[in-house]
Protein backbone atom coordinates (compact mmCIF):
# COMPACT_ATOMS: atom_id res chain seq x y z
CA UNK A 1 0.00 0.00 0.00
CA UNK A 2 2.78 2.35 0.97
CA UNK A 3 4.56 1.71 -2.31
CA UNK A 4 1.32 2.25 -4.27
CA UNK A 5 0.83 5.57 -2.46
CA UNK A 6 4.42 6.55 -3.24
CA UNK A 7 3.91 5.69 -6.93
CA UNK A 8 0.72 7.75 -7.01
CA UNK A 9 2.47 10.62 -5.22
CA UNK A 10 5.30 10.60 -7.76
CA UNK A 11 2.88 10.40 -10.68
CA UNK A 12 0.92 13.41 -9.42
CA UNK A 13 4.07 15.43 -8.82
CA UNK A 14 5.46 14.48 -12.24
CA UNK A 15 2.17 15.48 -13.86
CA UNK A 16 2.26 18.91 -12.17
CA UNK A 17 5.88 19.48 -13.19
CA UNK A 18 5.28 18.38 -16.82
CA UNK A 19 2.22 20.63 -17.10
CA UNK A 20 4.08 23.59 -15.57
CA UNK A 21 7.08 23.12 -17.84
CA UNK A 22 4.69 23.12 -20.78
CA UNK A 23 2.61 26.15 -19.82
CA UNK A 24 5.04 27.98 -17.46
CA UNK A 25 1.91 29.71 -16.16
CA UNK A 26 2.70 29.54 -12.45
CA UNK A 27 6.43 30.17 -12.71
CA UNK A 28 6.02 33.09 -15.10
CA UNK A 29 3.25 34.80 -13.16
CA UNK A 30 4.83 34.22 -9.74
CA UNK A 31 8.33 35.11 -10.92
CA UNK A 32 7.29 38.32 -12.66
CA UNK A 33 5.08 39.36 -9.75
CA UNK A 34 7.90 38.79 -7.29
CA UNK A 35 10.43 40.72 -9.37
CA UNK A 36 8.00 43.59 -9.92
CA UNK A 37 7.39 43.75 -6.17
CA UNK A 38 11.15 44.16 -5.67
CA UNK A 39 11.20 47.01 -8.17
CA UNK A 40 8.25 48.69 -6.42
CA UNK A 41 10.00 48.34 -3.06
CA UNK A 42 13.15 49.83 -4.55
CA UNK A 43 11.33 52.84 -5.98
CA UNK A 44 9.32 53.34 -2.78
CA UNK A 45 12.43 53.30 -0.60
CA UNK A 46 14.67 55.27 -2.96
CA UNK A 47 13.82 58.55 -1.22
CA UNK A 48 14.66 57.26 2.27
CA UNK A 49 17.19 59.39 4.14
CA UNK A 50 20.89 58.68 4.55
CA UNK A 51 20.36 57.13 7.98
CA UNK A 52 18.07 54.48 6.59
CA UNK A 53 19.47 50.96 6.87
CA UNK A 54 17.60 48.60 4.50
CA UNK A 55 18.77 45.62 6.55
CA UNK A 56 16.31 46.69 9.28
CA UNK A 57 13.29 45.92 7.09
CA UNK A 58 14.80 43.59 4.49
CA UNK A 59 13.37 40.39 5.98
CA UNK A 60 9.85 41.84 6.23
CA UNK A 61 9.93 43.06 2.63
CA UNK A 62 11.17 39.72 1.38
CA UNK A 63 8.56 37.64 3.17
CA UNK A 64 5.71 39.97 2.23
CA UNK A 65 6.69 39.50 -1.40
CA UNK A 66 6.81 35.72 -0.97
CA UNK A 67 3.42 35.59 0.77
CA UNK A 68 1.65 37.57 -1.96
CA UNK A 69 3.51 35.74 -4.72
CA UNK A 70 2.56 32.38 -3.26
CA UNK A 71 -1.15 33.27 -3.27
CA UNK A 72 -0.95 33.83 -7.00
CA UNK A 73 0.56 30.38 -7.53
CA UNK A 74 -1.65 28.54 -5.05
CA UNK A 75 -4.79 29.70 -6.79
CA UNK A 76 -3.43 28.77 -10.21
CA UNK A 77 -2.38 25.30 -9.10
CA UNK A 78 -5.90 24.43 -7.96
CA UNK A 79 -7.59 26.13 -10.89
CA UNK A 80 -5.64 23.71 -13.13
CA UNK A 81 -7.15 20.83 -11.18
CA UNK A 82 -10.65 22.28 -11.41
CA UNK A 83 -10.43 22.78 -15.19
CA UNK A 84 -12.54 20.14 -16.91
CA UNK A 85 -13.20 18.44 -13.54
CA UNK A 86 -9.69 17.02 -13.08
CA UNK A 87 -9.85 17.28 -9.28
CA UNK A 88 -13.07 15.24 -9.42
CA UNK A 89 -11.27 12.61 -11.50
CA UNK A 90 -8.46 12.47 -8.94
CA UNK A 91 -10.94 12.17 -6.08
CA UNK A 92 -12.71 9.35 -7.94
CA UNK A 93 -9.54 7.29 -8.07
CA UNK A 94 -8.55 4.99 -5.21
CA UNK A 95 -5.89 7.35 -3.94
CA UNK A 96 -5.78 8.25 -0.27
CA UNK A 97 -6.76 11.92 0.09
CA UNK A 98 -3.59 12.79 2.05
CA UNK A 99 -1.50 11.52 -0.91
CA UNK A 100 -3.29 14.03 -3.16
CA UNK A 101 -2.75 16.75 -0.56
CA UNK A 102 0.96 16.09 -0.10
CA UNK A 103 1.56 15.83 -3.85
CA UNK A 104 -0.05 19.24 -4.37
CA UNK A 105 1.89 20.69 -1.42
CA UNK A 106 5.18 19.36 -2.81
CA UNK A 107 4.46 20.76 -6.28
CA UNK A 108 3.54 24.17 -4.90
CA UNK A 109 6.59 24.13 -2.63
CA UNK A 110 8.87 23.32 -5.55
CA UNK A 111 7.57 26.19 -7.69
CA UNK A 112 7.66 28.62 -4.77
CA UNK A 113 11.27 27.71 -3.98
CA UNK A 114 12.28 28.25 -7.62
CA UNK A 115 10.72 31.73 -7.56
CA UNK A 116 12.36 32.52 -4.22
CA UNK A 117 15.75 31.40 -5.56
CA UNK A 118 15.31 33.82 -8.49
CA UNK A 119 14.14 36.67 -6.27
CA UNK A 120 16.85 36.56 -3.58
CA UNK A 121 19.76 37.66 -5.83
CA UNK A 122 17.67 40.53 -7.23
CA UNK A 123 16.73 41.55 -3.71
CA UNK A 124 20.35 41.41 -2.55
CA UNK A 125 21.44 43.45 -5.58
CA UNK A 126 18.82 46.16 -5.00
CA UNK A 127 18.90 46.43 -1.21
CA UNK A 128 22.00 44.88 0.30
CA UNK A 129 24.68 46.18 -2.06
CA UNK A 130 27.42 47.85 -0.05
CA UNK A 131 25.87 46.85 3.29
CA UNK A 132 27.90 44.99 5.89
CA UNK A 133 26.68 41.43 5.89
CA UNK A 134 28.06 38.26 7.39
CA UNK A 135 28.18 35.60 4.69
CA UNK A 136 28.26 32.79 7.30
CA UNK A 137 24.90 33.82 8.77
CA UNK A 138 23.54 34.70 5.32
CA UNK A 139 24.18 31.06 4.43
CA UNK A 140 21.46 30.19 6.95
CA UNK A 141 18.79 31.96 4.89
CA UNK A 142 18.04 28.91 2.67
CA UNK A 143 17.07 27.03 5.86
CA UNK A 144 14.41 29.55 6.80
CA UNK A 145 13.27 29.87 3.19
CA UNK A 146 12.64 26.13 2.93
CA UNK A 147 11.00 25.89 6.37
CA UNK A 148 8.83 28.97 5.76
CA UNK A 149 7.84 27.84 2.28
CA UNK A 150 6.75 24.42 3.59
CA UNK A 151 4.28 26.21 5.87
CA UNK A 152 3.07 28.51 3.08
CA UNK A 153 2.58 25.60 0.66
CA UNK A 154 0.97 23.38 3.33
CA UNK A 155 -1.59 25.87 4.60
CA UNK A 156 -2.05 27.52 1.22
CA UNK A 157 -2.83 24.26 -0.59
CA UNK A 158 -5.51 23.38 1.96
CA UNK A 159 -7.08 26.83 1.78
CA UNK A 160 -6.86 26.97 -2.02
CA UNK A 161 -8.73 23.62 -2.14
CA UNK A 162 -11.43 25.16 0.04
CA UNK A 163 -11.68 28.40 -1.90
CA UNK A 164 -11.40 27.09 -5.47
CA UNK A 165 -15.14 26.31 -5.62
CA UNK A 166 -16.17 29.74 -4.38
CA UNK A 167 -17.11 32.57 -6.72
CA UNK A 168 -14.51 35.05 -5.39
CA UNK A 169 -11.75 32.51 -4.92
CA UNK A 170 -8.85 35.02 -4.94
CA UNK A 171 -10.52 37.15 -2.28
CA UNK A 172 -11.58 34.15 -0.18
CA UNK A 173 -8.08 32.67 -0.28
CA UNK A 174 -6.53 35.99 0.81
CA UNK A 175 -9.05 36.42 3.63
CA UNK A 176 -8.30 32.94 4.99
CA UNK A 177 -4.61 32.76 4.19
CA UNK A 178 -3.26 36.06 5.57
CA UNK A 179 -4.57 35.67 9.16
CA UNK A 180 -3.59 31.99 9.29
CA UNK A 181 -0.07 32.58 7.98
CA UNK A 182 0.61 35.41 10.46
CA UNK A 183 2.47 33.26 13.08
CA UNK A 184 4.68 31.80 10.34
CA UNK A 185 5.41 35.24 8.96
CA UNK A 186 6.47 36.40 12.42
CA UNK A 187 8.94 33.53 12.89
CA UNK A 188 10.27 33.67 9.33
CA UNK A 189 10.87 37.43 9.45
CA UNK A 190 12.57 37.05 12.85
CA UNK A 191 14.93 34.33 11.57
CA UNK A 192 15.64 35.97 8.20
CA UNK A 193 16.23 39.35 9.81
CA UNK A 194 18.70 37.82 12.26
CA UNK A 195 20.54 36.06 9.44
CA UNK A 196 20.86 39.34 7.50
CA UNK A 197 22.04 41.34 10.54
CA UNK A 198 24.52 38.59 11.30
CA UNK A 199 25.81 39.56 14.75
CA UNK A 200 26.71 36.74 17.19
CA UNK A 201 23.68 37.55 19.38
CA UNK A 202 21.47 37.47 16.29
CA UNK A 203 22.19 33.74 15.95
CA UNK A 204 20.08 33.05 19.04
CA UNK A 205 17.22 35.05 17.53
CA UNK A 206 17.63 33.10 14.28
CA UNK A 207 17.14 29.75 15.98
CA UNK A 208 14.18 31.07 18.01
CA UNK A 209 12.58 32.17 14.75
CA UNK A 210 13.37 28.82 13.13
CA UNK A 211 11.84 26.93 16.06
CA UNK A 212 8.73 29.06 15.64
CA UNK A 213 8.54 28.31 11.91
CA UNK A 214 9.20 24.56 12.29
CA UNK A 215 6.63 24.31 15.10
CA UNK A 216 4.09 26.07 12.86
CA UNK A 217 4.90 23.72 9.96
CA UNK A 218 4.42 20.58 12.07
CA UNK A 219 1.14 21.75 13.64
CA UNK A 220 -0.38 23.09 10.42
CA UNK A 221 0.68 20.14 8.24
CA UNK A 222 -0.80 17.69 10.75
CA UNK A 223 -4.01 19.74 10.95
CA UNK A 224 -4.22 20.00 7.15
CA UNK A 225 -3.57 16.25 6.80
CA UNK A 226 -6.48 15.60 9.17
CA UNK A 227 -8.81 18.12 7.54
CA UNK A 228 -8.16 17.48 3.83
CA UNK A 229 -10.45 14.44 3.50
CA UNK A 230 -13.26 16.32 5.22
CA UNK A 231 -12.78 19.38 3.03
CA UNK A 232 -12.81 17.54 -0.30
CA UNK A 233 -15.73 15.28 0.73
CA UNK A 234 -17.87 17.91 2.43
CA UNK B 1 -18.55 -10.62 1.23
CA UNK B 2 -16.24 -13.44 0.15
CA UNK B 3 -16.98 -15.04 -3.23
CA UNK B 4 -20.76 -14.99 -2.82
CA UNK B 5 -22.47 -13.64 -5.91
CA UNK B 6 -23.67 -10.08 -5.47
CA UNK B 7 -27.47 -9.90 -5.31
CA UNK B 8 -27.62 -6.13 -5.66
CA UNK B 9 -25.28 -3.79 -7.47
CA UNK B 10 -26.75 -0.73 -5.77
CA UNK B 11 -28.53 -0.59 -2.44
CA UNK B 12 -29.72 2.85 -1.36
CA UNK B 13 -31.53 3.33 1.96
CA UNK B 14 -33.17 6.58 3.07
CA UNK B 15 -30.38 8.55 1.48
CA UNK B 16 -30.43 12.25 2.29
CA UNK B 17 -27.96 14.91 1.30
CA UNK B 18 -28.53 18.47 2.44
CA UNK B 19 -26.73 21.67 1.43
CA UNK B 20 -27.51 23.98 4.32
CA UNK B 21 -31.29 23.80 4.79
CA UNK B 22 -31.94 22.58 1.24
CA UNK B 23 -32.27 18.84 0.77
CA UNK B 24 -30.92 17.86 -2.63
CA UNK B 25 -31.74 14.22 -1.80
CA UNK B 26 -34.54 13.50 0.60
CA UNK B 27 -34.90 9.91 1.80
CA UNK B 28 -34.10 8.15 -1.47
CA UNK B 29 -34.33 4.33 -1.36
CA UNK B 30 -34.00 1.79 -4.15
CA UNK B 31 -32.13 -1.35 -5.18
CA UNK B 32 -30.61 -2.27 -8.51
CA UNK B 33 -29.63 -5.81 -9.54
CA UNK B 34 -26.19 -6.53 -11.03
CA UNK B 35 -25.71 -5.96 -14.78
CA UNK B 36 -28.77 -3.70 -14.89
CA UNK B 37 -28.86 -0.39 -16.77
CA UNK B 38 -30.51 2.33 -14.72
CA UNK B 39 -31.57 5.54 -16.43
CA UNK B 40 -32.23 8.44 -14.08
CA UNK B 41 -34.47 11.24 -15.32
CA UNK B 42 -35.65 14.43 -13.71
CA UNK B 43 -35.77 18.20 -14.06
CA UNK B 44 -32.74 20.39 -13.39
CA UNK B 45 -32.07 20.56 -9.64
CA UNK B 46 -33.92 17.31 -8.98
CA UNK B 47 -30.90 15.78 -7.23
CA UNK B 48 -29.68 13.48 -10.04
CA UNK B 49 -26.08 14.67 -10.02
CA UNK B 50 -26.03 14.76 -6.21
CA UNK B 51 -27.20 11.14 -6.18
CA UNK B 52 -24.41 10.12 -8.56
CA UNK B 53 -21.86 12.12 -6.57
CA UNK B 54 -22.86 10.32 -3.37
CA UNK B 55 -22.81 6.92 -5.12
CA UNK B 56 -19.35 7.64 -6.55
CA UNK B 57 -18.00 8.79 -3.12
CA UNK B 58 -17.51 12.39 -4.26
CA UNK B 59 -19.99 13.61 -1.64
CA UNK B 60 -20.79 12.17 1.75
CA UNK B 61 -24.46 11.57 2.56
CA UNK B 62 -26.00 13.66 5.32
CA UNK B 63 -27.99 10.64 6.53
CA UNK B 64 -29.03 7.21 5.31
CA UNK B 65 -26.63 4.92 3.51
CA UNK B 66 -25.76 3.55 0.12
CA UNK B 67 -23.84 0.50 -1.00
CA UNK B 68 -22.34 -0.16 -4.39
CA UNK B 69 -21.35 -3.80 -5.02
CA UNK B 70 -21.95 -4.37 -1.30
CA UNK B 71 -19.43 -1.68 -0.33
CA UNK B 72 -20.49 1.26 1.79
CA UNK B 73 -19.93 4.59 0.04
CA UNK B 74 -18.38 6.10 3.18
CA UNK B 75 -16.72 3.26 5.09
CA UNK B 76 -15.39 1.37 2.03
CA UNK B 77 -14.84 4.37 -0.23
CA UNK B 78 -11.26 3.58 -1.32
CA UNK B 79 -12.07 -0.07 -2.14
CA UNK B 80 -15.21 1.01 -3.97
CA UNK B 81 -13.41 3.53 -6.15
CA UNK B 82 -11.34 0.70 -7.63
CA UNK B 83 -14.55 -0.87 -8.94
CA UNK B 84 -16.48 2.10 -10.33
CA UNK B 85 -15.99 4.47 -13.25
CA UNK B 86 -17.56 7.80 -14.16
CA UNK B 87 -18.16 9.27 -17.58
CA UNK B 88 -19.37 12.81 -17.12
CA UNK B 89 -20.35 15.61 -19.48
CA UNK B 90 -17.14 17.16 -18.11
CA UNK B 91 -14.17 15.29 -19.67
CA UNK B 92 -12.19 14.99 -16.39
CA UNK B 93 -8.91 15.22 -18.33
CA UNK B 94 -5.86 17.48 -18.09
CA UNK B 95 -5.80 19.83 -21.09
CA UNK B 96 -2.02 20.27 -20.93
CA UNK B 97 -1.25 16.55 -21.10
CA UNK B 98 -1.40 14.47 -24.25
CA UNK B 99 -4.09 11.82 -24.69
CA UNK B 100 -1.57 9.10 -23.86
CA UNK B 101 -0.13 11.00 -20.88
CA UNK B 102 -3.63 11.49 -19.46
CA UNK B 103 -4.40 7.78 -19.68
CA UNK B 104 -0.96 6.80 -18.34
CA UNK B 105 -1.43 9.16 -15.41
CA UNK B 106 -4.81 7.71 -14.48
CA UNK B 107 -3.43 4.17 -14.99
CA UNK B 108 -0.97 4.94 -12.21
CA UNK B 109 -3.75 6.32 -10.02
CA UNK B 110 -5.66 3.04 -10.46
CA UNK B 111 -2.56 0.83 -10.44
CA UNK B 112 -3.59 -0.71 -13.77
CA UNK B 113 -1.51 -3.78 -14.68
CA UNK B 114 0.24 -3.57 -18.09
CA UNK B 115 -0.73 0.07 -18.32
CA UNK B 116 1.06 0.60 -21.65
CA UNK B 117 -0.92 -2.18 -23.34
CA UNK B 118 -4.22 -1.15 -21.77
CA UNK B 119 -3.76 2.48 -22.82
CA UNK B 120 -2.95 1.48 -26.41
CA UNK B 121 -5.95 -0.87 -26.50
CA UNK B 122 -8.35 1.82 -25.28
CA UNK B 123 -6.97 4.55 -27.53
CA UNK B 124 -7.63 2.24 -30.44
CA UNK B 125 -11.13 1.39 -29.17
CA UNK B 126 -12.09 5.08 -29.04
CA UNK B 127 -10.37 5.74 -32.39
CA UNK B 128 -7.84 8.19 -30.97
CA UNK B 129 -4.61 6.24 -31.41
CA UNK B 130 -3.57 8.61 -34.23
CA UNK B 131 -3.88 11.59 -31.82
CA UNK B 132 -2.24 9.93 -28.81
CA UNK B 133 0.67 12.42 -28.72
CA UNK B 134 -1.50 15.54 -29.04
CA UNK B 135 -2.39 17.75 -26.10
CA UNK B 136 -6.03 17.25 -25.19
CA UNK B 137 -6.61 21.01 -25.23
CA UNK B 138 -6.48 20.69 -29.03
CA UNK B 139 -9.27 18.07 -29.06
CA UNK B 140 -12.86 18.67 -30.13
CA UNK B 141 -15.71 18.06 -27.67
CA UNK B 142 -16.43 14.68 -29.22
CA UNK B 143 -12.79 13.60 -29.07
CA UNK B 144 -12.52 14.68 -25.43
CA UNK B 145 -15.60 12.68 -24.59
CA UNK B 146 -14.19 9.60 -26.35
CA UNK B 147 -10.95 9.95 -24.40
CA UNK B 148 -12.99 10.43 -21.25
CA UNK B 149 -14.67 7.09 -21.96
CA UNK B 150 -11.24 5.46 -22.28
CA UNK B 151 -10.17 7.03 -18.96
CA UNK B 152 -13.27 5.72 -17.22
CA UNK B 153 -12.74 2.17 -18.54
CA UNK B 154 -8.97 1.97 -17.83
CA UNK B 155 -9.29 -0.03 -14.62
CA UNK B 156 -12.13 -2.27 -15.92
CA UNK B 157 -14.79 -0.95 -13.51
CA UNK B 158 -17.78 -3.13 -12.68
CA UNK B 159 -20.23 -0.26 -12.25
CA UNK B 160 -20.14 2.62 -14.70
CA UNK B 161 -21.82 5.92 -13.93
CA UNK B 162 -22.71 8.13 -16.87
CA UNK B 163 -23.65 11.75 -16.17
CA UNK B 164 -25.31 13.05 -19.34
CA UNK B 165 -22.62 11.39 -21.46
CA UNK B 166 -24.24 12.28 -24.79
CA UNK B 167 -24.37 15.99 -24.01
CA UNK B 168 -22.62 17.97 -26.75
CA UNK B 169 -21.51 14.93 -28.77
CA UNK B 170 -21.49 14.88 -32.56
CA UNK B 171 -23.22 11.91 -34.26
CA UNK B 172 -19.89 10.09 -34.80
CA UNK B 173 -18.94 10.39 -31.13
CA UNK B 174 -22.47 9.24 -30.17
CA UNK B 175 -22.07 6.17 -32.38
CA UNK B 176 -18.72 5.35 -30.76
CA UNK B 177 -20.21 5.73 -27.28
CA UNK B 178 -23.21 3.58 -28.29
CA UNK B 179 -20.84 0.97 -29.71
CA UNK B 180 -18.69 0.89 -26.57
CA UNK B 181 -21.73 0.61 -24.31
CA UNK B 182 -23.16 -2.16 -26.48
CA UNK B 183 -19.84 -4.06 -26.32
CA UNK B 184 -19.68 -4.08 -22.53
CA UNK B 185 -23.39 -3.74 -21.75
CA UNK B 186 -23.88 -7.24 -20.35
CA UNK B 187 -20.71 -7.38 -18.25
CA UNK B 188 -21.29 -4.15 -16.34
CA UNK B 189 -23.87 -2.32 -14.29
CA UNK B 190 -24.69 1.12 -15.67
CA UNK B 191 -26.23 4.14 -13.99
CA UNK B 192 -26.97 6.95 -16.43
CA UNK B 193 -28.34 10.44 -15.89
CA UNK B 194 -30.13 11.66 -18.97
CA UNK B 195 -32.48 14.36 -20.18
CA UNK B 196 -33.02 12.40 -23.38
CA UNK B 197 -36.06 10.20 -22.74
CA UNK B 198 -35.73 8.26 -25.99
CA UNK B 199 -32.07 7.38 -25.45
CA UNK B 200 -32.55 6.68 -21.75
CA UNK B 201 -35.51 4.37 -22.33
CA UNK B 202 -33.78 2.66 -25.26
CA UNK B 203 -30.79 1.67 -23.15
CA UNK B 204 -32.27 1.05 -19.72
CA UNK B 205 -33.39 -2.05 -17.87
CA UNK B 206 -34.68 0.15 -15.04
CA UNK B 207 -35.85 3.76 -15.04
CA UNK B 208 -36.07 6.21 -12.20
CA UNK B 209 -37.61 9.67 -12.10
CA UNK B 210 -36.33 12.01 -9.44
CA UNK B 211 -37.88 15.37 -8.50
CA UNK B 212 -37.16 17.63 -5.55
CA UNK B 213 -34.77 15.04 -4.17
CA UNK B 214 -37.41 12.29 -4.04
CA UNK B 215 -38.21 9.29 -6.21
CA UNK B 216 -41.35 9.89 -8.22
CA UNK B 217 -41.17 6.62 -10.17
CA UNK B 218 -38.86 3.62 -10.19
CA UNK B 219 -39.76 0.66 -12.40
CA UNK B 220 -38.08 -2.10 -14.41
CA UNK B 221 -38.25 -1.41 -18.16
CA UNK B 222 -40.74 -4.18 -18.87
CA UNK B 223 -43.23 -2.65 -16.43
CA UNK B 224 -43.05 0.77 -18.06
CA UNK B 225 -45.74 2.03 -20.36
CA UNK B 226 -43.90 4.57 -22.50
CA UNK B 227 -46.81 6.99 -22.84
CA UNK B 228 -47.57 6.98 -19.11
CA UNK B 229 -43.86 7.34 -18.34
CA UNK B 230 -43.53 10.35 -20.62
CA UNK B 231 -46.56 11.92 -19.00
CA UNK B 232 -45.12 11.39 -15.51
CA UNK B 233 -41.82 12.84 -16.67
CA UNK B 234 -43.49 15.91 -18.16
CA UNK B 235 -45.39 16.54 -14.94
CA UNK B 236 -42.21 16.22 -12.84
CA UNK B 237 -40.31 18.62 -15.07
CA UNK B 238 -43.09 21.06 -14.24
CA UNK B 239 -42.27 20.60 -10.55
CA UNK B 240 -39.05 22.53 -11.14
CA UNK B 241 -36.10 22.56 -8.81
CA UNK B 242 -36.08 21.19 -5.30
ipTM of this complex prediction, to 2 decimal places: 0.86
Q: Tens digits of per-residue pLDDT, A115-162?
A: 999 999 999 888 877 767 777 778 889 999 999 999 999 999 999 988
Give the gap in angstroms from C-alpha B113 to the nearest C-alpha of chain A.
12
- Could you give the number of structural domains in chain A? 1
- Could you give the number of structural domains in chain B? 1
Give the gap in angstroms from C-alpha A65 to the nearest C-alpha of chain B.
29
A64 in helix, strand or coil?
A: helix
Query: Where residue B212 sits, what CATH number does that domain have?
Result: 3.40.50.300
With a cut of 70, say whether residue B148 has pLDDT above it: yes
- The C-alpha atoms of residue A94 and residue B111 are separated, in whole angstroms, by 9
CA nearest to A157, candidates A226, A219, A221: A221
Interface check B113 vs A, CB under 8 A: no
Asked if residue B140 is part of any domain, the answer here is: no
**Which of A81, A89, A95, A234 is most worth mutating to test chain B (most B CB atoms within 10 A of its CB)?**
A89
In the 8-state DSSP scheme, what is residue B162?
A: E
Asked if residue B72 is part of any domain, the answer here is: yes
Q: Tens digits of per-residue pLDDT, A47-56?
A: 877 777 777 8
Query: Residue B176's pLDDT is what?
Result: 81
Task: Check A233 against B110: CB less than 8 A apart.
Answer: no
- The C-alpha atoms of residue B96 and residue B98 are separated, in whole angstroms, by 7
**Per-residue CA distances from A196 to A186, A190, B24 (Å):** 15, 10, 57
DSSP run (H or E) holding B16: strand B10-19
Predicted TM-score of the model (pTM): 0.87
Asked if residue B241 is part of any domain, the answer here is: yes
Are A108 and A71 in contact by the 8 Å Cβ rule? The answer is no
Asked if residue B108 is part of any domain, the answer here is: no
Asked if residue B59 is part of any domain, the answer here is: yes
For residue A93, give the chain B residue with the closest CA. Answer: B81
**Poorest-confidence range of B70-74, B93-97, B164-168?**
B164-168
Q: Tens digits of per-residue pLDDT, A175-225?
A: 999 999 999 999 999 999 999 887 778 888 999 999 999 999 999 999 999
Give the gap in angstroms from C-alpha A7 to the nearest C-alpha of chain B.
7
Asked if residue B123 is part of any domain, the answer here is: no
Domain coverage including residue B19: 1-83+195-242
Asked if residue B101 is part of any domain, the answer here is: no
The mean predicted confidence, pLDDT, of chain A is: 89
Contacts of A8 in chain B (CB under 8 A): 108-109, 111
CA nearest to B231, candidates B242, B216, B221: B216
Interface check B165 vs A, CB under 8 A: no
Domain coverage including residue A209: 2-43+52-233
Interface check B79 vs A, CB under 8 A: yes
- The C-alpha atoms of residue A87 and residue A39 are separated, in whole angstroms, by 36
Asked if residue B41 is part of any domain, the answer here is: yes
Task: Check A85 against B92: CB less than 8 A apart.
Answer: yes
Amino acid sequence: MASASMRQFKAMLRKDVVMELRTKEMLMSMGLYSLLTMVVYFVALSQAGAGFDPRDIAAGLLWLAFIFTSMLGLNRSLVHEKDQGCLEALLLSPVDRPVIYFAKVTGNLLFLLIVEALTIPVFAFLFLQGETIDLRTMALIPLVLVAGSIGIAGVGTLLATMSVNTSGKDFVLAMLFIPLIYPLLLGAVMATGAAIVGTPEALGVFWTGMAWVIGYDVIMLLASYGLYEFIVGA
Amino acid sequence: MGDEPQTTALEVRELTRAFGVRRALDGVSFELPPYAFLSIFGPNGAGKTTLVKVLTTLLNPTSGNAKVLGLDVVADAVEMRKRIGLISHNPLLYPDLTAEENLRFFSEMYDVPDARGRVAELLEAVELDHRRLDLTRTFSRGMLQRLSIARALLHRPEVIFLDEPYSGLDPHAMDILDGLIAQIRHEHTFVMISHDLDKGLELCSHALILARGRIVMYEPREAIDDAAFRETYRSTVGMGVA
